[in-house]
Amino acid sequence: MGRRGVETLVGLFVLLGILAILFLALRAANLGNFVIGETYLITARFDNIGGLKVRSPVKSAGVTVGRIKAIALDTNTYQGRVTMELEQGMLFPSDTSAKILTSGLLGDQFIGLVPGGSDKNLEEGAEIKLTQSAVLLENLIGQFLYNKAADPPDAAPAPAK
């Protein structure tokens, strides 16, 4: 293999490395999957959104059906207002509930939609009324420690005779 062949292989290797870095950057920024086609917007309010981010996925039964478009604080209720962009073909009943879930123990957060049983579907601009806020690890640890501190101390063992 001549010098030109080695230079070509090195060039291809560098190009593959750049493509791999670009792929990882898109995945880390959560831009790897784009919603394609027509979408419609729905909203939900949560007491605590935890680490939820714009462009985080919206899933139902583990399947991505949309993305989070915007997150804002509602100054009337002081709740987090999340606007979701769902694919047009994904219709959900009007009594659907939304939960903020976590991928794995310390993974990214996303919204999980649980369909209800209503005959009517959510329409453009509808608001999901049944929501469950994010479960924060810090709060769980705090509750555990508080409950342990509130327990009465164990009785001392009786002395041996």
Give one DSSP letter per residue of the chain, joined into a string.
Answer: --HHHHHHHHHHHHHHHHHHHHHHHHHHTT-SS---S-EEEEEEEES--TT--TT-EEEETTEEEEEEEEEEEETTTTEEEEEEEEETT---BTT-EEEEEESTTT--EEEEEE----SSBP-TT-EE-EEEPPPPHHHHHHHHHHHHHHSPPPPPPPPP-
Residue found under tokens 């009943």? 93
- Interatomic CA distance for residues 157 and 27, integer angstroms: 58
Dump pLDDT digits (tens) for 29-43: 655 555 467 889 999
* pLDDT level of residue 107 (50, 70, 90 thresholds): confident
CA-CA-CA-CA dihedral for 124, 94, 63, 47, to nearest 10: 90
Over residues 127-147, the pLDDT tens digits come to: 999 888 877 767 778 877 777
Average pLDDT in the 82-93 region? 91
- Rounded distance between C-alpha atoms, residue 148 and residue 134, angstroms: 23
Amino acid 156: pLDDT? 56
Question: Averaged over 107-131, what is the pLDDT?
Answer: 89
Q: Which of 82, 38, 89, 26 is nearest to 63 (CA)?
A: 89
Q: Which residue has the tokens 């292989």?
A: 9
Q: What is the pLDDT of residue 65?
A: 92
